[in-house]
A and B are shown apart, each in its own frame.
Chain A
Amino acid sequence: AQSVSQHNHHVILSEAASLELGCNYSYGGTVNLFWYVQYPGQHLQLLLKYFSGDPLVKGIKGFEAEFIKSKFSFNLRKPSVQWSDTAEYFCAVTPSGNAGKSTFGDGTTLTVKP
């Protein structure tokens, strides 16, 4: 069975600071990788995804993530955060072609101070 580990439970940054949230997974086969975001009072929504191809993927609102296969990592980055990025961020893994086996990390709460 796969597992997902998010290194930081709570991150506090000032506006304009750079962000990197760690995500590592364990699974022996090919995976699809996702970052989801949950803004206060809103439902989970997709931030970005990786299926294949260029390991550097860009998502909404200036976020990007890099898949490093050798490290089983899919870290989320943003060069300059805004107050509106305050939210909870979840990394998720799904084995390719196996829709039902999604596994989520425990999430990272990001607080951006204005």
Chain B
Amino acid sequence: DAMVIQNPRYQVTQFGKPVTLSCSQTLNHNVMYWYQQKSSQAPKLLFHYYDKDFNNEADTPDNFQSRRPNTSFCFLDIRSPGLGDAAMYLCATSKTSYEQYFGPGTRLTVT
């Protein structure tokens, strides 16, 4: 089945230790998104790729970076995780402005 896959599902990292989360899709969608979701809050858009074009949200900290080497893969890099970065990170894809298809998320714990 076509889907959005996120690895790992659970990630524990130490304060200040870089971490990379990955997302892959078999839907061949041109848009890929990264969201941060904290408990009982709305998913917060960090950035998205429209094809190869990277679009950063104005309030996304510089600590968060992303790479999209090809249509299928997208990575979220957190350069120096702080305790406040502990959250669920969601990857999603869409065809232009249509509905989004979400992966299962990666729960990041920072110790």
Binding site for B on A (CB under 8 A): 4, 9, 32, 34, 36, 42-46, 49, 51, 90, 92, 94-100, 102-107
Contacts A43-B105, A44-B90 hold; do A97 and B42 have CB atoms under 8 A apart? no
Contacts A97-B96, A100-B50 hold; do A107 and B40 have CB atoms under 8 A apart? yes
Query: CB within 8 A of B98: which of A32, A45, A106?
Result: A32
A44 touches B94 (CB 8 A): no
Query: CB within 8 A of B104: which of A43, A51, A96?
Result: A43
When chains A and B are docked, how far (Å) is the Cα of A32 from the Cα of B102?
A: 17
Question: Chain B's nearest CB lies how many Å from the CB of A42?
Answer: 8
Query: CB within 8 A of A102: which of B40, B100, B101, B103?
Result: B100
Chain B residue at minimal CB-CB distance from A31: B97
Contacts A43-B104, A107-B40 hold; do A99 and B99 have CB atoms under 8 A apart? no
Tell me the count of chain B residues lying within 8 A, CB to CB, of chain A.
23
B43 touches A95 (CB 8 A): no
Q: Which 4 A-B pairs have the closest CB atoms?
A: A44-B102, A104-B42, A100-B48, A43-B104
When chains A and B are docked, how far (Å) is the Cα of A107 from the Cα of B40?
A: 8
A90 touches B42 (CB 8 A): yes
When chains A and B are docked, how far (Å) is the Cα of A83 from the Cα of B55?
A: 40
- B 76-104 contacts with A by CB, 8 A: 90, 92, 94, 96-104
Chain B residue at minimal CB-CB distance from A107: B42
Question: Chain B's nearest CB lies how many Å from the CB of A86?
Answer: 16
When chains A and B are docked, how far (Å) is the Cα of A45 from the Cα of B100?
A: 8
